[in-house]
Amino acid sequence: MKNLLSWLKDNIGLTIGAVISLGVLGYIYYSQVWVNYAKEEEVAATLEAKRNELEGLMRRKPFPHKENVVILSNTVAVLSGADPNLSVARWLTNLASVNPPPRNIRPSAFNPMLVQQKNKLMAAAKKYNVTVPQEFGFGFGRYVTQGTPPANDTNQINTLLTQWSTIEMLSDILFTNRIVSITAIRRAPVGAEIPKDPMAAAMMSSAVRAGGDEFFGAAIRDNPGDIARTLPFELEFTCDTQGLRGILSALESSPRFFIVRSVAVLNTRAAEMLAGGRSEAMGKTQPAADAPAEQPPAPEATMIPGAPGGRAAAPSAEAGKLAEAVTVFGLEKIQVKMRVDLVEFREPSSPGANPPGAK
C-alpha cells in the first residue's frame, strides 16, 4: 500500500490524467445510454399511438360515422349552393378531365378517319367472335358506308367525334364481355343530321330502325346554362346473364360518366318451351304427342285419410294451367336492349358551368 501511495505521489500528473480520462469515458457512456433510452421511449410512444389509431380504425364503422356524416353534409351543401364560400370547381374539373379534348378535323378527313376506325372495330369483333350485321356502321353508317360528308361545322364535328369515341368504348365493353352478337348501335342525331321537315323527323326513327342503324328517338341535351351535356345511345345485343352483369359493372367503373337509363331483356328461348314446363336446355323432355295414353286418376278420386269425407279438394282449373306454364330460365341466351347516356361535364370556366352559389 505504501509503495502504491509513493508511486502515485511520484506520478501525480499521470494519476490526474487517468482520473480525468475515466470521467470523460464514463460521461460519454452515460450520454449514449441516455440517448438510446430516449429514442426507445419515443419509438415506443409512436408505436403505441399507431396501435391505438389502428384499433380505432378497426372499431370504426364505414357509415354512418360522425366524420362521414359531416363530409356528406358538406358535399350536399356545396352541390345545393347552400354555402356560397365553397365551390365545386375542383369537382367539375376532375370530372371534365376525363372528357377527350376537342380535335381539329377537316370535313374532308372525317370520313376516311371513321372508316379506318370502323375497320379496327370490325377486326376486334372478329377477334372476340362477335357477330355483327354485314356493312355494320356502328351508328355511323351514313359516313362509313354511304360516304355522306359531315357538315362544315367544328362544333358538330367535335360532337360526332365524341359520339364515335363513346361508341368505341361501348363496343370494347361489349366485346371484352364475350357477347354473342350486336344487332344495332344507335345514337342521337347531331345538327344537320336532324331533318328540318317535321314529317321527315317523325318518320326518321322508324325508317332507320328497320336497318338497325343509326338514330333513335332521343335528343342530345346541351343547354348553355347547364354544367353538363347528355349524349344518349341505344344498344341491342345478345349475350348471357354473366356477360350482362360484366357489361353493367364495366359501365359503372368506367372513367367516363355513364348512366344506364333502361335495360330490356328477352330470353331467346321464351317461345320454344316444351310440354311439361321445362326447357330443352334443362334436360330431357316429353312432347305432348308422346305422352302415355293412361292418365293418372282424377284428383277428386284420391282418398286421403283424415280429410273430410276422405277426399281432398279438387284443384282449380287456373292452378292447373299455372302449373303447366312454369318456365325454367338460366341456360338460354338473352336479347338485351339498353339505353345508355354519356354525361359530359364542362370546365368550370366555361359559360354557364358555374353551379348555383359558386363564386
Calculate mean pLDDT across residues 8-30. 77
- The stretch 318-346 carries a mean pLDDT of 71
Distance (Å, whole) CA 131 – CA 180: 6
Give tens-digit pLDDT for 65-81. 666 666 666 666 656 55
User: Measuring CA to CA, which residue among 135, 192, 132, 183 is closest to residue 159?
Assistant: 192
For the stretch 20-34, pLDDT in tens is: 888 888 888 888 888
The span from the CA of 355 to the CA of 88, in Å, is 7
Q: Is the per-residue pLDDT at 203 higher than 80?
A: no
pLDDT in tens, 258-280: 999 999 999 877 655 443 444 44
Contacting residues for 325 by C-beta, under 8 A, at least 6 apart = 277
CB 263 within 8 A of CB 235: no
Question: What SS3 state is found at 87?
Answer: coil
Which band of pLDDT confidence, cut at 50, 70 and 90, is reported for residue 126?
A: very high
SS3 211: coil
CA distances, 179 to each of 32, 241, 269, 345, 348 (Å): 71, 10, 17, 30, 39
3-state secondary structure of 298: coil
Q: Which residue has the higher pLDDT, 59 or 310?
A: 59
Cβ-Cβ contacts under 8 Å for 329 (sequence gap 6 or more) = 267, 279
pLDDT of residue 13: 72
Q: DSSP per residue over 93-111, as a string?
A: HHHHTTSPPP----HHHHH
Backbone dihedral angles phi then psi of residue 157, each to the nearest 5 degrees: -65, -40
pTM of model > 0.75? no
Q: What percent of the chain has pLDDT over 90?
A: 27
User: Residue 183: which of 338, 24, 23 has the closest Cα?
Assistant: 338
Take residue 176 and report the three cell numbers written for it. 371484352
Closest CA relative to residue 166, chosen from 147, 140, 130, 192: 140
Lowest mean pLDDT among 43-52, 70-79, 211-220, 321-330: 321-330
